[in-house]
Structure 1
C-alpha cells in the first residue's frame, strides 16, 4: 500500500511565507537605491572539490564529506549522511538509518569517534553507536578511514568513523543560520516539525583569540511501518495426512506507530593562545526518545495440529491466535566532553585530550499486553515474501472471543560510561636527508556498561476480561486484513486503576528480571610511528600495542523442578547463579601506509595494517536476553562472555586519478584475513538445555548464542567516480564489491557445510548521485544499494540460515537559494517505497514497509 497525497494544508502557509519574504527582499532597494541581484552559487561543485582535495592530501585511504556537502543531501542525521560515501552502507531501524557499516562489513566492526574521542552506546546490546542520534546540523565534517596509522585506535576492521563538530576558528567571523522544516509520512499521514540553528563567532582577547561555536537542533518525527514476520524459521514439516513441505511455526502481523524526538546541542570553545598554542573544550549533548505503539497478531500455528501442508499452503487445527499491544518509550542521552590542547615547540609538538562520555537508555513503564483465543483452524494460503494468513472460523476476529492472558510491565535502564586520556608527542627529524616526523604517545580508556532490567509479569486480573473491554476500530494495515486493535487509552486506564489487585506470575517475573549485568573494559595503548616525506612519496609506518582487561558479572537463571547445586532459588522452581568472568589479552599492531604521486594527476597507495574488533556487549553479556519454556518447548537467546575478539590482517592497494577540472576516478582492491569471527547460531544441538530448565523435560529446543568461528577471508574492490560539467551537471558514483569465505570449524562429521560468507557482510554496496546546479537552483537524485547479508546461521542445515535481502533506495532533494540569505529545500525519501526483507531459502523472515516521506524546509543564513 502506498499513499501519494501530500498534506498541502500544512505546507501551504510555509510556502506562502517564503514567497512573501522573497518578494519583499526583491523589491527592497540596496543602499544605492538599486534592486538586489541574484547571487550565483556553485555549492555542489565547490563542496565536491573540497572533499576530493582532502581525500587526495591524506596519507591514509579515506573518504570525506564536509558539512556543506551533507547539506545538499536529504539526510537528517549522521548515519544517513554517511551512506552517500564510498564503501559505506547503513543498517535501518523502522526505515531510518541507525548503524553504519564500511566496505560491506558488520557495523559492530567499526570504531566511531567524535572530536577524537570514542562514543558510548546507550543500547543494551550494542557496541556500535546508533549515529542517528546526532543531527547533521551539528557537523563540520565526516571522515571514514579505511586504513589505520599507529596513532589511531586499533579497534576497527571495517573502518574508523571520525565526526568533527563545528569550529568557530574555521569560520570568517560571526556567522549564523536558522532552519525550519516540516516532514510528512504518507504511510501514517503524519507531520514532523524540525527547527535547528548554528552560531559562530571569533573574539579578540588581546593577543589571543577565542572561537565560540553553538548549534542546536530539535525534531519530532511521526511515522510508522507495517510488517509481517516469522517467529523461528521455515523448516520441513509433516502433516497428519502424510504431506510434507517447508512450513512456519508462527507468523506475526505487526503495525507500528512511532514518534521519535531528537534534540542535539553542541558548544565548542577554541582558544588560540598564540600561533603555536591552542586549547579547546568541545561538548555535545544528544537527547533521543522513541515512543512506539505496536499492534500484533500472532498466528501460533505450532500450538495446534498440522492437518495438511504443501509448498505454498498449510492448515492447523486447534491452533492459537494472540492479539497484543506493546506500549513503550525509550529515552536515550549521550554526553561527550573533550578538553585538550595542541602546542608547537619549535621541532617538538604535543597534543593531549581528556574525554568523558556518558550514554544511557531508560525504558520506564513499558507495557506489553496479550489476549488469546484457542482452538482455531488457522493457516496460510500462500507463502513467499508476504504470507497470506487465514482463520477458517468467522469468530476468529471477534473481540469478545479473546481472553486477557498476560500483562508485562518493565522498567529497564542501561548505562555506558567512559573516561579516556591520550597524549601525542611529535618531533621533526631528518631521515636520510628527507624531512620526517617521529610521533609517539599513549592512550587510556576506562569503560563500564551496566544494565538494570526489571519485568513484572501478571497473569490473573481479578476477573474475566476480553478484548471487547479494550477494543478499538480495525487497525489500518495495508498488507492484509488485521481485525480489531487494542485501545492504549482504555488499557492504560484499566491498569492504572486495578494494578494493585493483579496477581504476579512469580516464575515468569523471576526469569524475565534476572538479566542485570555489569561489564568493565579497560584498554591501554602505546604507539610509535614515523611519517617520512620523500617529495612525491610519503611513508607512514609504526606499531601500536594494546592491552584489554575485560570483566563481566551477570546471572545464569534456570527454571527447574529440582534444586540446582550452587544456585539461589529466587522464585518457586526458578534458580539463579551469579556468573563472574574475567580475561586479559594484548596484541601488537604493525602498520604501513605508502602514498606516491606518480604524476600530477595520478596517486598510488598501498597499505598493510593489523586491527581487531571486540565483540559487541550484547554478545558478551553473561545474562541471557530471554528464556521461554512452554510445554516442553524451549527458546533461549543468550550471550557468551568467553568470545575472542576478531583479529584481522589487512592489505590495501589503490590508484586515484584527479582531473584538472572537477573530476576524480579511483579503483582500489583490499584483502582481509580475519580470525575468530563471530556468528549468531542455533547451538541447541551442542548446548545442554538443562542449563536453562534444569530437570524439566525438553522436547524441542532453539538456543541462539554467538560463537567464534574459525577464520575468514574477505576480498574486495572499490570504485569511485566524480565528474563535474560546465553546464552544472555533477555525477558521483561508487561501488564496493566484496566476496568472503568463512569457516565455522565444524569438523568432518558435520551435517551442514562448514563454509559460509562472513556474517553481516554485504556483497555489493553502491551509490549513484546525479546533481544539477545552475544559478540559485540545486537538484540531487540519489540512489543507494546494499546487497544480501547473512544474519543468522543454523548449525545443522544451511537451508535454515537467515539472510537480509538486497535493498535499493531512491531519494531526491531540491534547493533554491534566494538573494536575501534564504534557502528553500524539498526532499523526498524512499521514493520507490523499498521494503526491508529477510528470508531463509526464500521464505519470509521479516517483510516491512515504510512508505515515502517528504520534507519541506526554509533556511536563513548570514553567509
Structure 2
C-alpha cells in the first residue's frame, strides 16, 4: 500500500545533528492549547523552548487523528518572528519564500492552495495585487506578526467539526484571550533588524510589539490589547530568463537532439537574459482587541477585532536582452538551446516601481454557553475582509528604455541597421554567461545616454476585495454515566465567500522625450558574489525611477489607461456535522475512537465584465499584439455547485503506558483556485506565435482525497518521544489544463485575424492609439488559438512516511528535534512530454533539525530546514504551459537569548546565516529561470515582561 521514493540525503540530518548547538529559556508558565476549544486548558509548569515542546507533544498525544502543534514559549513569545518560519519545523511542513521570508506553506507535498488556514477556527480571507501571483485561497503568513499568537495546530487528517478546504492539512492559528491569563499580564519587545542584503534603504530598521491583558470584576471581565509595527529594508540580485519557449527560433541547429528521448525534436530557447537588482521596503502593522465577559459561570462572551496592514514597495532595475523568433544556436541532446544568439537588436533597460498593499480586518463574536452539566453550545460569527490595493492604484508601473535598432549613421536620412550582438551561453554551473558587442551605435557604446530612447510604458495590477461571513453553531454532549460513548459533537455552519477583482493592464509604445530623465548606469562590480559574480554579465545596469519616467509620459500627453476587467466569485456553503467520541478497552488496552461525518452543499456563481475585442494591432515584431477594445463592457456569467459527504474515523490505542498506535481515515477536499473560475478570456498572442488564450470554468469540482494514516508514537520520557507514520492519499478531480485549438471571435462574431502575415506598408507601427492599417481585418488569416481551460482531469495517489524524534537530554539543558518526511506520487512530470497538463506541484521530501540548550538564564537554538527539489508550477513567468522547478534548498537559523532577570531579556536572532541562494529552472537544469541571491538577516532585541 505504501511505497516511498527515498531521495533524501541522510548526511544532511547527520551533519545538522553533529553541528548542533541549541536554544531557549524558562520564565513563568505556559498554557497548553488543546485541540478542542471547549475542553479545559491544562497547565504545564514549564516554559521556554522546553515547555513549548512539552506542550506540543501533549497535544499530539491527546489528539484524535494526526495533529502536530507549536505553542508559545510564553505570552508574546512565539518561537519565530514569522509564523511560516515556525511551521516549517513541523514534520511534513515546508514553506515557500518571497524575498527570503516565509509566506506560504506546503504540507505532505501539497502546495499552498491545497491547505486551509484558519484563525481561531475561522476561515480567513486573502488577497493579492500582483497579476503573476494569481488568485488562490492561500493565506500569506508575511502579513501577520507572531507576537500575539499563542499556538498553531496542524490537522493532517480530516475531522467532521473542522472547516473543510485542505487536503494537505488544515492549519489553525490561535491568538491569546484575556481569560487565558489571571490578572494583569504585559509584554513588550523592541528589535533592531539588520538585513545584510540591503543596499539602498536603512541598514537598521525597527520592529516593535506589545501585549497587555487584564481581568477585572473578580475575573468576569477581561480585556486584551496587542499591537506591532515592523519595518524591513532589503535587497536582492538575480540573473535568469522570463521563460523557455518551445520551438522558438528559426535558425536553430537540431542535429544534436537525441531523438530516442525527444522524438519530436522540440527545442527550447530563452525569451530573455535578465540581470536584476531589487530594492525593497516593507512595513507591517498588526493589532488585536479582545473583550471577554462572563456574567455567570455558564456563559462567556468574546468580542474581538483583528487588523493587519501590509505595504511593500519594490524598485527593480533590469538590464535585459530579448531573443526574438529569428534567433539561432545549437540544441543539446535534450533540446535546450545552450548558446542562443541574436544579432542586430537592442538592449532593454527596464524600470519597475511595484506597490503591494493589503488591509485585513476581522470582527468576531463568540458565545460559549453551558446549558446543563452535560450539554454546551458555542456560537461563533465573524465578518472578515482582505483588500489588496484599497486605493485602486495599479500595483506595477513599468518603463522600458532601449538602444535604437535603426540609426541614421550616414547623416543623409538613409538608415543603417545596427544594434547589439548578444549570445547567452549556459556555463557548467548552469549560470548564464553573456557576451555582447555593439555596432553602429553612437560611440559604439550601448550604455551611452544619448543612445537610449523611450520604448514603452506599462501599468498593471489587481484590486481585490475578499470577504468572508461565517456563522458556526457547535454543540457538545458529554456522557456522565456509564458506557463507551463519551462525547457527541454536532453543529451547523454557513460560509459566504465573496471575491471581487478589478484587473488593469495597459501597454503603450510612445515617443517620449527622456532628455530630462535622471538616468545613470551603475557598475555591476560586486554583483551576485554568491551566484557566480559579475564576470561575463552586462557590465552595468541602468538606474532610474519608473515613477519619474511615467510622469514624463503624463506631462507630454502620451498617457492612456485601459478600462479594467471585472471578475467576481460568490460561493455559499452550508455544512452540517456530527461526531462521536468513544473511550473503551480492547484486550485490556485503552482505546479511543472518534467517528463523524460532515455534509456540505456549495453553490458557485462567477461573473466577468470586460471590454470586447474589436481586432488585434500589429505593433512590433518582438512583443505581443495589442488589442483594440470597445468602450463598452460585456458581461458573462457562469454557475456551478456540488454536494459533498466527508466521513472520518480516528482510532488510537495505548499499547503500553508509553506507546500509542493510531489509525485514521478521512475524506477531505480542496476547492479550486479562484482565478480558475472566472469566465473572462485573456489573450497572449505574438507575431509568429505562440497564440495563447485562457478562460475559466465555474463548473470545476473540488479535489477530493481519501486519506489513510497509520502511526506509532513512543513517549519514552518527559518531553521526549519518537514517532513514525505512514500516509496514503487517493486524490480525484485533480485540476489540470485542457487545450483546444480554436478561433476566437471579435465583438462582431468574426474570428480574430493575424495582421502580421501579410503586413501592409508602414506596419508594424508603434504609433500611439494604433495605426488602422496595422489592424487585423477579414483579408488576414484567422488565428488558431491554443485556448486553455481548467478541467477536472484525473486521479493521483500520494504516499509518504514521516519520522520524528524529540529528545531532552535529562537535566543537562540540551535537547533536539529531528524529523523528515519522504513523499511520492504516481503522477510524475515527464519533461519530454510536451503535451502533459497534469502534475503534482509542490511534492517534495523535507527535513528539519532543531537543537537547543537552555539552562538558568541562557538559551541558544540552532535550526536547519531542508526541502528537496519540486515542481512549482506548470507555467513560467511569460511562457504558459512550461514547467518551473525549484531546486533543493536548505537554510540555517540561530537564536540566542539571555534573561537578565525574571522580567527582562535580550536576544539575537539570525536567519539564513549562511546566505543560501535560490535557483529555479525549466524542463532541464540548464534552462535557468531564476538564480537569486539574498543575504543573512539579524534581529537584536530586548523584551520586557510585567
TM-score using structure 2 length = 0.79
User: 2:514 is paired with a residue of what secondary structure?
Assistant: coil
Q: Does 1:784 align with 2:872?
A: no
CA 1:403 to 1:549, structure 2 compared with 1: closer, same or farther past 3 Å?
A: same
Q: CA deviation at 1:515?
A: 2.8
C-alpha distance 232-467 of structure 1, shift in aligned 2 (>3 A): farther
Kindly tell me: are residues 501 and 466 of structure 1, through their superposed partners in 2, closer, same or farther at Cα, counting changes over 3 Å? closer
Residues 1:666 and 2:748 are matched in the alignment:
no
Aligned to 1:148: 158
Please identify which structure carries the higher helix content: 1
Alpha-carbon contact 2:814-2:852 (below 8 Å) kept: yes
- Aligned partners of 2:932, 2:788: CA distance in 1, in Å? 23
Matched-pair contact (CA < 8 Å) for 2:250–2:325: no
SS in 1 for 2:665: strand
Where does 1:527-542 land on structure 2 (aligned, <5 Å)? 527-534=577-584, 536-542=590-596
Cα distance in 1 for partners of 2:95, 2:329 equals 43
For the residues of structure 2 that align with 1:798 and 1:464, how far apart are their CA atoms? 35
Q: How does 1:419-430 map to 2 (within 5 A)?
A: 419-429=469-479
CA-CA distance at 1:50 after TM superposition: 1.4
CA 1:570–1:404 in structure 2 vs 1: closer, same or farther (change >3 Å)?
Answer: closer
Q: Please, which of 889, 892, 908 is the counterpart of residue 826 of structure 1? A: 908
- Give the Å deviation of 1:844: 0.7
Equivalent pair of 1:44/1:69 in contact (CA under 8 Å): no
Structure 2 residue matching 1:187: 3-state secondary structure:
coil
Q: Which digits, 9 at most, give the CA deviation of each residue in 1:202-226, with x for residues without a partner?
A: 1125xx6122221111001001211
Pair 1:801–1:175, CA change in 2 (3 A):
same
Pick aligned residue for 1:211 from 211, 217, 222: 222
Aligned partners of 1:562, 1:260: CA distance in 2, in Å?
A: 39
Q: What corresponds to 1:370 in structure 2?
A: 400
Which of 244, 267, 280 aligns to 1:233? It is 244
Q: CA deviation at 1:548?
A: 0.9
| 734, 746, 755: which one aligns with 2:819 | 734
Structure 1: gaps of 5 or more residues: 1-39, 564-568
State the 1:76 CA deviation. Answer: 1.9
Comparing 699-708 and 611-620, the one that deviates more: 699-708
| 2:705–2:730 CA contact under 8 A, matched in 1 | yes
- Aligned with residue 179 of structure 2, among 142, 145, 169: 169
Task: Give a deviation string over 1:250-293, Cα, whole Å, max 9, x none.
Answer: 22222111111110001112223333321111221110011111
Could you tell me whether the CA contact under 8 Å between 1:140 and 1:167 is conserved in 2?
A: no
What is the root-mean-square deviation of aligned Cα atoms in Å? 3.3
Q: What does the per-residue CA deviation read over 1:462-504, in whole Å, with 9 as the maximum and x for residues that have no partner?
A: x543697533534673253455555545x53454366153335
Q: d(CA) in 1 for partners of 2:593 and 2:551?
A: 68
Distance 1:278 1:727 in 2: 43
Residue in 1 that maps onto 2:308: 286
CA distance in 1, matches of 2:787, 2:450: 36
Bigger shift: residues 687-696 or 319-328: 687-696
* Structure 1 contact 459–504 (Cα < 8 Å) conserved: no
Show the counterpart of 1:34.
none
What TM-score do you get using the length of structure 1 for normalisation? 0.86
Which one of the candidate residues 493, 502, 513 is aligned to 1:452?
502
Map of 1:97-116 to 2, 5 A cutoff?
A: 97-116=102-121
Q: Report how far residue 321 of structure 1 moved.
A: 2.3
**Alpha carbons 1:286, 1:334 under 8 Å: kept:** yes
2:752 paired residue among 675, 689, 694: 694
Name the CA shift for 1:694/1:852 in 2 (closer, same or farther; >3 Å). same
Conserved 8 A contact 2:614-2:628: no
2:498 counterpart SS class? strand
- Equivalent in the alignment of 1:585: 642
Q: Are residues 1:387 and 2:470 paired?
A: no
Match of 1:158 among 151, 161, 168: 168
Is the 1:403–1:466 Cα contact (8 Å) retained in structure 2?
A: no
Residues 762-801 of structure 1 aligned to structure 2 (within 5 Å) = 762=844, 764-793=845-874, 801=883
Tell me the distance in 1 between the aligned counterparts of 2:367 and 2:315: 47
- Counterparts in 2 of 1:168-567, with a 5 A limit? 168-189=178-199, 190-204=203-217, 209-233=220-244, 235=246, 240=251, 242=253, 247-302=269-324, 304-306=326-328, 312-344=338-370, 345-362=372-389, 364=393, 366-373=396-403, 374=405, 375-383=419-427, 385-393=430-438, 395-410=445-460, 412-429=462-479, 433-461=483-511, 463-465=512-514, 470-471=519-520, 473-474=522-523, 477-478=527-528, 479-480=533-534, 481-489=537-545, 492-493=547-548, 495-496=550-551, 499-504=554-559, 510=562, 513-534=563-584, 536-555=590-609, 559=613, 561=615
1:813 aligns with 2:895: yes
Gaps of 5+ in 2: 1-44, 130-134, 257-267, 406-418, 439-443, 618-625, 755-780
Distance 2:183 2:111 in 1: 42
Displacement of 1:760: 2.2
The match for 2:841 is 759
CA contact (8 A) 2:729 2:799 kept: yes
Counterpart CA distance in 2 for 1:626 and 1:181 is 47
